[in-house]
Structure 1
Amino acid sequence: MANDAPLSDKPECCENWSRRDFVRSLGAGMLGASVPGLGAAAWAADEKPAKAGPSPSDLAETAVARFYKSLSKSQREAICFPFDHQLRTVVKNNWSIVKPTIRDLDKEQQALCREIMKDLSSEDGYERFMRQMKDDAGGFDAYHVAVFGEPESEKPFEWVLTGRHDTLRVDGDSVVGSAFGGPIFYGHAANGNFDEDAKHTNNVWWPQAEQANKIFSTLDEAQRKQALMEDAEADDSETIKLKGQALAATGLSIGTLDGQQKDMTRKLVETMLAIFREVDAAEVRRCLEASGGVDKLRLTFYKEDDIGDDGVWDIWKLEGPAFSWYFRGAPHVHAWLNVARPV
């Protein structure tokens, strides 16, 4: 397992936590995922939002430009890099992309980083990220940000946030054909507990696994045999490398399921997308449709590390030619995600 020791620096945090329902409506995409018979229509090209992805003029991106402009020469030397720097593409579960933390920036810059974080998330997602960051590192100010490229110009750029249980990005669609600007990671050790209980009490991301397990509960014996494997895959970024047409025929093909089960799979995707801003969610949907939609996805559950031996699978993966989402709920939640348009 990749290193997941808590970060030692834990500033006080006063972020609030809401217990509102995790799955919120995201327009036609969510409606189609929730109502049998509407799923395929809701994901059809003529039903998608006119805006299919982020742009430099979006709220998060313009906040990144203001943040970049505010940096002094010494700050730029510490946290800014050329767009093609190798650090930009790294994704890990627990790392410092640069040495300074958000807390080391001035108050205006800290506020801008928080504004960017709010704008890359949905309202519900932001609250969940704040709860996760408080539990895992003491709060948002303990995390690290870096800027690649030149956000003030017409050139490509990307803002990256890292720390314990997060690698998140804002890129204005600078990384063409890649949702979120590249692979991302999110996780949570609820209440600071490295070893969570079988119900994953208070884990902000566990509702995603509950939706996956609802699909498993609808499978017949033959389908369960196809979907369930003994040993989980490695807990690292190699697991979400996109395989294209070389994707192995393992796990259960969503294309073989009935209409209601396919709608449940769309809803599973939407439970993840519900934590992000709509322009990123729209780009993921468009990428997925470009590679054949949910019919081309394969769903796999793993017996390994079944907490409580309750048959509620803590580890599972939803994967397609250009879509890879690996959810490891043991000993706590790690979620790796990589989505692109097929090449």
Structure 2
Amino acid sequence: MNIDPDSNRRPQIVTRRSFIQTAGLAVGAIGAGGIIPCSAANLAKAKPTSDTLVKTLYDSLNEEQRNKICFAYNNKLRLEVDNNWHITKTMVKDFTKDQQAMIKDIFMGLHSEEYADKVYNQVVSDSGRDGFDGGSSIAIFGEPGSGQFEFVLTGRHCTRRCDGDSMKGAAFGGPIFYGHAAGGFREGPKHEGNAYWYQAMKANEVYQMLDGKQREVALLNKSRGENGLKTVALTGKKEGLAGIRASDLTHDQKNHLRKVLGDILAPFRKVDAEEAMKHVEAGGIDNLHLSFYKGENIGDDNVWDVWQIEGPNMVSYFRGKPHVHAWLHIRQPENRK
């Protein structure tokens, strides 16, 4: 594992290839009458998902490639997470063009249609002149198709996972990371052009709804800081976490907190977002704690750049200083069968 220092480099735009989406368009089903053209409905059903593409990618690897990026499923490297790292030394650019197209399509498919391009452009921008292909590395744990596998893509401001729901009870297949340095290493208080700053604006709307006594509980000085996987360690605690407990919020405030959770999950594909929200609800919305950090504020504008939502089975830690780093870990509650 190679941890790289944060950096500020200029973007290189990479054109998306459509190799996988167009594969098989001319092939239909063979029946008694010969070849039957595929209908639009059949094509939609046959469209590969990120999970099935991992199997296609795995099957395309030669022995040398497998020796470099394939590991046993229980390898401890699988669940690592950090703000700027490469899980292996093998970059996307080191694969064949068709394999590169598959890797990109796996990544794009992990995100919602609304945000996929925005998220991809963020990775391209934050990777500097290396772009997505030169700034991202991958690894595959276990054997896709066996019921136990995980694909992990990493780089600057990016840790994404695809596991075909192999890891039961873990949203996204484990902890993930996303971030953006849109206006240089040190962003201004408005974070112009940042792909994820909208999440902080929504969270700050909850703060504005708090009364004086509630703000005293919610507004703290310094946040937890960043320390790799420990940053998103789950405590299992329902009480005594940092900030104000959701059970102490009004009905309207609590509903807005739910909307913030929806905004946090909006960049990701529907199946992952729904699973994550199901686990949060199972852990109890009342058990969530919301906190803001005045000691890490940019511009002294009382729009809090650093905040977090934490419950017994989730951590969403948003560090917007000097630019956006966001950590997310959501699991099924341990006491749920």
Paired AA for residue 218 in structure 2: A
Question: How many residues in Structure 1 have an aligned counterpart in Structure 2?
Answer: 298
Provide closer, same or farther for how the CA distance between residues 3 and 14 of structure 1 changes in structure 2, counting only shifts above 3 A: closer
Provide closer, same or farther for how the CA distance between residues 221 and 262 of structure 1 changes in structure 2, counting only shifts above 3 A: same
Give the match for residue 188 of structure 1: 180
Provide closer, same or farther for how the CA distance between residues 245 and 5 of structure 1 changes in structure 2, counting only shifts above 3 A: closer
Give the match for residue 73 of structure 2: 83
Give the match for residue 311 of structure 1: 302
* Counterpart-to-counterpart distance in 2, 1:107 and 1:183: 29
* Counterpart-to-counterpart distance in 2, 1:325 and 1:126: 20
Q: Alpha-carbon deviation of 1:335?
A: 0.4
Unaligned runs of 5+ in 2: 17-46
Within a 5 Å distance, the mapping from 1:50-69 to structure 2 comes to 59-69=49-59
Out of 247, 254, 257, the position equivalent to 1:265 is 257
Paired AA for residue 143 in structure 2: E
Out of 303, 308, 321, the position equivalent to 2:312 is 321
Query: How well do the aligned residues superpose, as a CA RMSD in angstroms?
Result: 1.9
Give the match for residue 40 of structure 1: none
Give the match for residue 37 of structure 1: none
Paired AA for residue 286 in structure 1: K
Matched position secondary structure for 2:237: helix
Unaligned runs of 5+ in 1: 17-56
Equivalent residues of 2:4, 2:85 under 8 A apart: no
Q: Alpha-carbon deviation of 1:5?
A: 2.1
Length-normalised TM-score, structure 2: 0.84
Equivalent residues of 1:185, 1:335 under 8 A apart: yes
Structure (1 or 2) with the greater strand fraction: 2
Equivalent residues of 2:11, 2:126 under 8 A apart: no
Matched position secondary structure for 1:197: coil
Deviations 1:2-54 (A, max 9, x none): 9642388x8832459xxxxxxxxxxxxxxxxxxxxxxxxxxxxxxxxxxxxxx
* Counterpart-to-counterpart distance in 2, 1:221 and 1:3: 42
Give the match for residue 330 of structure 1: 321
Length-normalised TM-score, structure 1: 0.83
Equivalent residues of 1:58, 1:172 under 8 A apart: no
Within a 5 Å distance, the mapping from 1:136-147 to structure 2 comes to 136-138=126-128, 139-141=131-133, 142-147=135-140
Q: Alpha-carbon deviation of 1:247?
A: 5.2
* Counterpart-to-counterpart distance in 1, 2:92 and 2:309: 33
Paired AA for residue 61 in structure 1: D
Matched position secondary structure for 2:167: coil
* Counterpart-to-counterpart distance in 2, 1:3 and 1:305: 24
Larger Rg belongs to: 2
Within a 5 Å distance, the mapping from 1:54-203 to structure 2 comes to 59-138=49-128, 139-141=131-133, 142-151=135-144, 153-191=145-183, 193-203=184-194
Q: Percent identity?
A: 44
* Counterpart-to-counterpart distance in 2, 1:234 and 1:225: 21
* Counterpart-to-counterpart distance in 1, 2:158 and 2:202: 22
